[in-house]
Amino acid sequence: MANRKYIVGNWKMNGLREQLSDVADIASIAENHKDVDVAICPPVTLIALATETVPGFAIGAQDCHFASNGAHTGCLSAAMIREAGATMTILGHSERRADQHEIDADVKAKAEAVHAAGLGAIICVGETEEERDAGQAIDVVCGQLEGSFPDDADAGWLTIAYEPVWAIGTGRVPEASDVEEMHAAIRSKLSALMGDGADAVRILYGGSMNGGNASELLAVPNVDGGLVGGASLTGEKFGPIIEAAAAA
Ligand code: 13P
């Protein structure tokens, strides 16, 4: 049986209070498509405000620290983002792997901390253009998945997002056949890592997904949803992706 589609907006470092109206617009579109799971991950400053604006709508964070507390200036623990109102968080996004030098072991530790705090996690993996050109994409992505994989993985709280780095924010999208090949490789790696529960773990595609290409991407086998950046910032842009998921 196909997994329920999951469409998640990653707002990255975008959004001030005035954008709470966009969260409200998106939540009301989601309300009309209850067969799709929809969430927005705004900057952490908007998490509590967003949960007050749209009670019951899923709000997530974009990162959290693996420690429960302590001397980590500027960082936030899983309990802190949960208290703010997040029900899950993105982890290991390629922008954090590049900008903050996060490695697989950090992502694994973060995922385990997030689960211990009762939150969901979306672990991101993806190859660079050089790695794809060198024919290493599947090995790189499966290696990241194995290194980042939490010990207590379960589809109830864990989601994987495949985001080719070269497709993020560029308007470039892989061929459907390449997405299919990668998602199949991730599925079989999940089976090797966790056995029977692997089929229920949702695997999202991310990288320049928009209202024009969502239907094609969401129809690819093993694509259980999307992790969307730029096209998640308004209801006008994000709505068609939610609708495409509902029709998929
Ligand atoms: P874009 O949709 O802007 O390409 O970003 C994708 C992404 O990085 C989501 O996490």
Q: Measured between alpha carbons, how far apart are the two ends of the chain, in Å?
A: 13
Average pLDDT over residues 132-149: 98
Q: Which atom of ligand 1 is nearest to the CA of 210?
A: 2
Q: How far apart are CA 154 and CA 142, in angstroms?
A: 18
How far, in Å, is the centroid of ligand 1 from the Cα of 20?
Answer: 20
| Structural fold of domain 1-6+44-87+101-124+136-205+216-229 | TIM Barrel (3.20.20)
pLDDT in tens, 163-218: 999 999 999 999 999 999 999 999 999 999 999 999 999 999 999 999 999 999 99
Show Cβ contacts of residue 144 under 8 Å, excluding neighbours closer than 6 positions: 92, 104, 125, 126
Read off the pLDDT of residues 80-120 as tens digits, 9 standing for 90 and up: 999 999 999 999 999 999 999 999 999 999 999 999 999 99
Mutate to test the pocket of ligand 1, among 93, 227, 232, 237 (most ligand atoms within 8 A of CB): 227
The CA distances from residue 230 to 26, 101, 195, 196, in Å, are 14, 23, 35, 35
Instruction: Give distance in angstroms: CA of 70 to centre of ligand 1.
Output: 31
- Among 14, 168, 203, 208, the mutation site with the greatest number of ligand 1 atoms within 8 A of its Cβ is 168
**Mean pLDDT in the chain?**
97
Residue range 152-161: mean pLDDT, rounded: 97
- Are 221 and 3 spatial neighbours (Cβ–Cβ below 8 Å)? no
Ligand 1 site residues (CB inside 6 A) read: 10, 93, 163, 168-169, 206-209, 227-231
**Nearest CA among 26, 11, 20 for reference residue 236:** 26
Residue nearest atom 1 in ligand 1 by C-alpha distance: 229
Question: Within 13 A of 74's CA, how many CA atoms are on the CB side?
Answer: 1
Concerning whether 93 is annotated as a catalytic residue, the answer is yes
Cα 171 to ligand 1 centroid, rounded to whole Å? 10
User: Is 33 considered catalytic here?
Assistant: no
Of the residues 65, 93, 115, 183, which is catalytic? 93
**Which of the residues 102, 131, 163, 243 is marked catalytic?**
163
- Provide the residue ranges of all domains of the chain, joining segments of one domain with +: 1-6+44-87+101-124+136-205+216-229
Instruction: Report yes or no on whether pTM surpasses 0.85.
Output: yes
What is the CA(27)–ligand 1 centre distance, in A?
19
66-90 exposure pattern, b = at least 16 Cβ within 10 A, e = fewer: beeeeeeeeebbbbbbbebbbbbbb
Closest CA to 144 of 89, 90, 172, 102: 102
